[in-house]
Amino acid sequence: MLNSFAPLAIFLLAIGIPAAGVNASQQTDNITAGDIIDLVGNATDSNNTSSNATDNNDTDSNATASPPPVNDNENNNDNATDASGFVANDIAINEVELNPRGSDAGQEWIELYNPTDVDINMSDFQITTSFKSSNIDLPKDAVIKAGETYVVELDEQTLSNTAEILVLENSTGKVVDRTPSLVDRNDDDRTWQRIPDGNNEWKFAADTKGELNDPTAAKSNTTRSAYTNSTAQCLGSAGCAEGVVQRIVDGDTLYVSVNGTVYKIDLALITVPSRTDDGFIQSTSFTRSLCLGSNVLVDQDDGLLTSGGSVIAVVYCSSTNLNSELLDNGYATLNMDQCKTSEFASQPWAKDHGC
């Protein structure tokens, strides 16, 4: 994900419907990325947009997520994170043992997963817990091999059995991954785990410590979707992030909140009318009606990456390719110059319009 565009955030994609308050039989239900995204309730494009989501479903938990405000001035990007920081969600919290059989002390563990094809140095990475507000530092020499897992053993009882949320941060403090609120009151060998590995869905199943949870599944770095049952998928190896659209500047410029960090996104291969041109209101309204407040998947362009502080990407609002829809409905024209270098130039929708 990740700093997880695992389906770059990048990259990049964090909290909503907790697993707290369910009984043992209910714990087999899946938790999806849609459950851990901080949804934006604003229906209009207003100044100082913000959102607070608080997990109050369990008396043992008080976890809050608040994306930073976004200024509505098109030329003022002080509140948007620079695109160079749009990091791939390459490492995922993959499996968690909250409540091992017998005493928890010395038997709790957290498994990380690297879905990419390169080794990743995790020096100075840190995992924080929501219940006890503990910081778990990874070793200075920690490296997670390509396509493999890395188990963090906990010497003391650190994790709560009720309403525990884990957050993985890299050496710069950027959030790489975050779990939903997890509950395990069963005192057995079952764990919460992503199945397939690194994907969106969490299941309560027999532990596979140090091993892949579903070895037969395809790697999630090319199949991660924005939410359960979404057909949207990231391509290539650049950033891939799940988030929520907080603001629409014009038809091809959006601000997306990913794990509490706001990124400015410009659509690849797309040119829309400027504020002084005919069609500006129509193209902007189309994008707003389709995407504002929606769960989205941001697929960074491997060839273009960033420009002027913006992430260049294809954006899927729900399962709809916004770039393609703008072209198909006449609200945008193809940026022919980008056809020379864009990762998406060979996609059917781009070729249909002249790439």
Give Cβ neighbours of residue 215 (< 8 Å, ≥ 6 apart).
none
The pair of structure tokens assigned to 50 is 């913000």
The pair of structure tokens assigned to 209 is 């410590």
Give Cβ neighbours of residue 154 (< 8 Å, ≥ 6 apart).
106, 108, 109, 110, 136
C-alpha torsion sign, points 202, 205, 210, 214: negative
C-alpha torsion sign, points 265, 267, 268, 270: negative
For residues 339 and 350, the answer to whether their CB atoms sit within 8 Å is yes
Domains and CATH numbers, the chain: 240-352 (2.40.50.90)
Q: pLDDT at position 134, please?
A: 86
Q: 266-284: per-residue pLDDT in tens? A: 999 999 999 999 999 999 9
State how far the Cα of 343 lies from the Cα of 322, in Å rounded to an integer. Answer: 16
Q: Is the pTM of this model over 0.85?
A: no
Q: pLDDT at position 215, please?
A: 81
CB-count exposure of residue 318 (10 Å: 0-12, 13-18, 19+)? middle
Q: pLDDT at position 355, please?
A: 95
Each residue's pLDDT, cut to its tens digit, for the chain (355 residues) gives: 333 443 333 333 332 323 333 333 333 333 333 332 222 222 223 333 333 333 333 333 332 222 233 333 444 444 566 555 554 456 889 999 999 999 988 899 999 999 887 888 888 899 999 877 888 998 888 899 988 999 999 998 999 887 788 989 888 887 888 888 888 888 899 999 988 888 777 889 999 999 998 887 644 333 444 333 456 778 887 888 888 898 999 999 999 988 778 899 999 999 999 999 999 999 999 999 889 888 888 999 999 999 888 999 999 987 789 999 999 999 999 999 999 999 999 999 999 999 9
State how far the Cα of 342 lies from the Cα of 336, in Å rounded to an integer. Answer: 10
Q: pLDDT at position 165, please?
A: 87
Question: What secondary structure does DSSP assign to 143-172, as a single string?
Answer: EE-TT-EEEEE-SS----SSSB-EEEE-TT
Cα torsion 56, 58, 63, 67 to 10°: value is -40
The pair of structure tokens assigned to 33 is 């990325």
Q: pLDDT at position 2, please?
A: 38
